[in-house]
Structures are given as C-alpha cells and as structure tokens.
Structure 1
C-alpha cells in the first residue's frame, strides 16, 4: 500500500460529494483515486480541482481503476449489494454508507458472502458510533454506575423531507440510525416493533405519515421509543436519553453559543445532518482509513448492517399493518462473534 490509500468513491451526490471533500482535504493518509456516478457531469464537478482522479459512470470500472486500494460506497441503497459483492470479489476493504442494503434478503446475501471469505472487508457507515456525545453515553452505560438501562427515549427530527420521501422511509431511512444506536448502546438485539401513527402534521406532504412513534423491545428487557418527525420545519435534532435504574443521561441537546438580545435568548439549531454530525463523519472516515492502512477492518460490521435492515423491514411491516411485529434474525456467523 502506498503512502496514501487510494479510494474509489461510488456515488457523487450529496453524501458522496461530501466524502470526496473529506478524503481530499480533511482526513490524512488517503486520496481519491477514482469516482463513479451515472451522471458523469456530477462526478466531474465533485472532483473538480483534485488531480489524478479517474471518473467513470460504472461502479466496477472505478473499482478496477489504477491505484484503487479501498472503496467508499455512497450511492443510493439499491446499488449497495452489487457494489459490496464486487468489492469482495476484488478483496477490497469497503466503507459502505447505510443502509447496507434496503432489504433484509440482500443484506443476508452480503453477510453470507463476507462470511464465506472468512475475513471482514466491510464497515457500515453508522456514524453516530463516532459522535463524541454518543460515545460518552456508551461509556457511561458500559461503566454500569447508573445501573441497568431500562429505556431509551429517542428523537429524530428533520426540517423537511426530500421529494419522493415515503412513509416507509421514515423508518428504513431515518430511524435506521436509531436502530443501530440502540443495539450498540445497549448491547442487545431488538426483538419486536410497534409503530403508532398520530394525525399527520399539516407541514407534511400529502399522503406522508409524518410524524410516527416507533417502539422497540429488546432481548434484554429494555424498551426503546423513537419520535421521528421529518417535516418539523425548524431544524435537525437528534436526541437520546437513557433511563437507568439509578439515574439517566441525555445527549443531543442543541449546542452552540447562547445569543441574547432584544428581549430574547436562543441558540442556533442545525439544519442538516452533515452539520450536526460533521465531526462524527470526519472521525469515522479517519478511523476507517487508519485501520485499512494497517490491514484491519473495524467499526460497525456487516452483521450490524444486516440487523439494521431486518429490523427496519419489520418496522415498515408494523407501520403498514398496525400490528406489533416480531423481529427474526438469522443465526450470527462466527466471523462476527
């Protein structure tokens, strides 16, 4: 491996372009060697000013470009399975944005393909595990000083939903982050899900069931609730409160300077996840680059990606049927023990 890890970035949209910027100018030890996007103009725009980048419209062409030693997948979810399997076939380590795949069947195929290799190549992009506040919460829970965690109360709010956003996507796109965070924070698997639907907000597009209230049960006897509201109109907010036997701890309160003037006081509310979790993304990609250069794969695994897809799929079923839905995971391969 050379002085700089050569990375192929698949996808040059909102997330992909931000990762290209991050690899080129924020993290150390890596360079953008290739980029692939069906829109060649968008790909060229994303790498403008970066020397030596091969631009392609097909993912596999980027994987085969000279100097590519690792892959960052930031394309739409339906393209992830094919890209992951192609990277596995070439022995390339991968950082794949969530969802690993949109459907549990595809996630299981990826999981089984990596298990057959007998070594980990994939890290899944659940960046909250790299957020300073979430890591502090995890350390407190693991320490045990507050007693056993009994409940997690979570909030996930967006200013507005993008065009084409569906009621199911509130769960399989937005709440998927809370799914992974809850599993990681508690060290427990989610076993059942119920989705309650209040009257839709007047700010939600016609036909969109927004907000929703999602309730998860765990195999350790804890409860996790998530308020997801993707057209709140005022800002991007992510919060989590752990209620334990001997105390509670909450993260995600709005941060920033308190400005007082003209008879009022207030703080700025982030408007975008790339603002709220900017440092977490930087830390995640740096950790991936560092580990890859050492020949290791760390962070959230393909099992975590599979579990998140399976839980989200059960959540969508609960949303559509109104029924409490059992979550059934396949046996965990020994590779992920």
Structure 2
C-alpha cells in the first residue's frame, strides 16, 4: 500500500520533506501540495508527477486523494490546519510548533480527545536521532544510576537578520525543551533565563547567547547554552550526569581522526547535515504508523507542553526571574509515554 500525503507549506522545510517523501522514504508519495505563495507551490508541484496543486490548505485536507497531511506552513497557521485534519479524520504530521500559543494547543488537545484517538505527530526530530536514542537507552537502563543534571548546547553558525532573542527560545531551545521532557519522562516545573555577556557578533539589542535553566519535576536540572552566532558551525551538545557516571552525545561531526600528535573532525555546517538521518527516520516512522492505522512519536500533548515551556521561557527572559510552569491536567489519551 502507498500512503498518499498532502503537504501544506512549500517553503524551506516543506520542500525538504517533499524531497524526503518522494526520493528517500518508502510506502509513500506526495499527492497534493499547497502554499500561500501559489507560484512557489506550482513550481514544486510541476516537479511531482503525481501531485495536484490545491488552492488552499482546507481544499488539500478535503481532497479524497489525500490520505494524510503534513503541515510545514508558517507557525501561526498550524492550529487551523491541524484542527481541520482532525475534523476530516486524517492523520497529520505537524512541524514544530504544534501551535504558537497555549490556548491554540489546548484547542487541538480538546479536538483530539473528542475524536477519541491520537491523530497528531509533532516534528521533534531529535527523538529519532541515533545519538540521543543511545543516551536515553543508557538512562532507561539505569546502569549509571539516577540522573542528576544535564548539560546541553545549541549553537548555530549564524541566523537571518529577522532573528530575535525571543526566537532563541521558540525556535532553538524548544528542541532542548522537548529532549529534556522525553529524556527523563518528566515535565518541566520552572524556567530561568540568564543573559551572559553579549557576543560581538550579535545585532544591537539582541541577547546572544542565553543560558536557559530547566527544572524538571523530579529535581533534575537541565542547563541549555543557546547561541545563534557561533560562527564556526552547527554544534549540538548533550551530557547527562548521573549518580554513578555520565553519558554524552558522541561528536556531532561523526568520526574524530587522531594522528601525528593531532586530532580533528568535521563540525556540521547546518541543521540539515547534523539531523538529516533523524528527519528521515522520523517521517518514515510516521508513514509506517499511519499506514498501519495509527500514529507514533511526539504527541499533541508533547507539542502543548513544549509551547507552554517556551511561553514561560519568554516570561523568564524578560522578567529575569524563575518562572514556574503550569500545565492543564493531562488527558488519559496521553498518559502513555511516546517514542
């Protein structure tokens, strides 16, 4: 069976997912595309012999030739399309964020709970990265004791001129927020944001880097160094300190070569290079699950919790204080941990 997928949003990430769905993954094809930029969507559709160009996201969702939906449009549009997909009874893969506000995420939760089954997967691809999965396997096995704290770093070589300090939380640290919840099977209880010395590479009025402190409900502390003008490359770090040892991500560059008194390795140039395999594994897992009649991966609850943590992080960024996180009661539909 081939799963027919409609893609809403043909920008950078949308085109990357279309390439993956068309040329990398199995059991799937892109049957429809749409974008607010109709010209761009037409250009993409012209390169896909099986795809129909739809005039809107709603029309794509209603298309009987579309079995499931991938949402890669602008963040504020996610709520509308995810709700429409749920109403149409179609599984939906939504790139992060699930929605841009706590209230919007809550409406999605309510709709999915009313439907009585999980229909949403959120695109937190680090859960499908082999290095992160190896770390979680060690922690789950408790071979080095209970976790105490985690050090993390998210370093971008540069960002576009429109990038702001707030986007360091919403666009970069959001991945570390989801990793922390998943790694420890725990919710975040509070957020504090510290502002170190500002990099000379940062634009005026732009606090870069930031140090984000996440307090897990269990007492584990996660510190995230978020820096988006690192210059030298895309560098992702993670180390968990436990009672009887530590576990860390292997070098994100891959192999480290040692010779003649020196050692060297490659630092990824961007997020595509570092996480291409995770993106592939993530969407293949979704395709396989939907084909089998269900879904998998990060749930709408995970998307909701991440958005609430980001909103709280923004309050902490501006207040300079420790800000507690308050979540609604977790519905039974989401009580089981997600992969």
Instruction: Write the distance in 2 (CA, Å) between the matches of 1:262 and 1:42.
Output: 51
Q: Which moved more, 1:243-252 or 1:263-272?
A: 263-272
TM-score (norm 2): 0.95
Q: Secondary structure at the match of 2:175?
A: helix
Distance 1:260 1:199, change over 3 A: same
Separation in structure 1 between the aligned mates of residue 261 and residue 42 of structure 2, nearest angstrom: 49
Q: Distance in 2 between matches of 1:143 and 1:9?
A: 39
Q: TM-score, with normalisation over the residues of structure 1?
A: 0.96
Looking at structure 2, the residues matched to 236 and 65 of structure 1 have their Cα atoms a distance apart, in angstroms, of 39
**2:69 corresponds to:** 71
Q: Supply the RMSD in Å over aligned alpha carbons.
A: 1.6
2:325 corresponding residue in structure 1:
327
- Alignment-derived partner of residue 110 in structure 2: 112
Which one of 222, 225, 228 corresponds to residue 226 of structure 2?
Answer: 228
User: Offset of 1:50 from its aligned partner?
Assistant: 1.7
2:131 aligns to what?
133
Segments of 5+ residues of structure 2 without an aligned counterpart are none
- Structure 1 distance, partners of 2:19, 2:95, is 16
- Secondary structure class of the residue paired with 1:300: coil
Q: How far, CA to CA, are the matches of 1:254 and 1:39 in structure 2?
A: 35
Q: Does residue 37 of structure 1 match 2:35? A: yes
SS at match of 1:168: helix
1:86 to 84, 87, 95: 84
CA contact (8 A) 1:107 1:305 kept: yes
For residues 89 and 121 of structure 1, do their structure 2 counterparts lie closer, same or farther at Cα, with a shift above 3 Å needed? same
Which of 6, 9, 12 is matched with 1:8 structurally? 6
Q: Does 1:167 align with 2:165?
A: yes
Q: Where does residue 309 of structure 1 map in the other structure? A: 307
Match of 2:180 among 163, 179, 182: 182
Confirm or deny: 8 A CA contact 1:193 1:215 kept in the other structure: yes
Equivalent residues in 2 for 1:207-222, closer than 5 Å: 207-222=205-220
CA distance in 2, matches of 1:75, 1:274: 18
1:287 aligns with 2:285: yes
Gaps of 5+ in 1: none
CA distance in 2, matches of 1:261, 1:244: 33
Is the 1:20–1:47 Cα contact (8 Å) retained in structure 2? no
Secondary structure at the counterpart of residue 165 of structure 2: coil
Partner Cα separation in structure 2 for residue 202 and residue 236 of structure 1: 18
Q: Which moved more, 1:266-275 or 1:131-140?
A: 266-275
> For residues 156 and 164 of structure 2, what CA distance do their matches in structure 1 show?
14
Determine the C-alpha separation between the residues in 2 that align with 1:49 and 1:96. Answer: 23
Deviation string 1:267-323 (CA, Å, 9 cap, x unpaired) is 221111111000000000000000000001111110000000001100000001101
- State the distance in 2 between where 1:163 and 1:12 align: 22
Q: Is the 2:45–2:52 Cα contact (8 Å) retained in structure 1?
A: no
Distance 2:143 2:288 in 1: 32
Given the alignment, which residue of 44, 49, 52 partners 1:51? 49
Whole-Å separation in 2 of the counterparts to 1:11 and 1:224? 34
CA contact (8 A) 2:147 2:243 kept: yes
Q: Deviations over 1:121-160 (max 9, x none)?
A: 0011111110001111111000011111000100001011
Alignment length (residue pairs) = 335
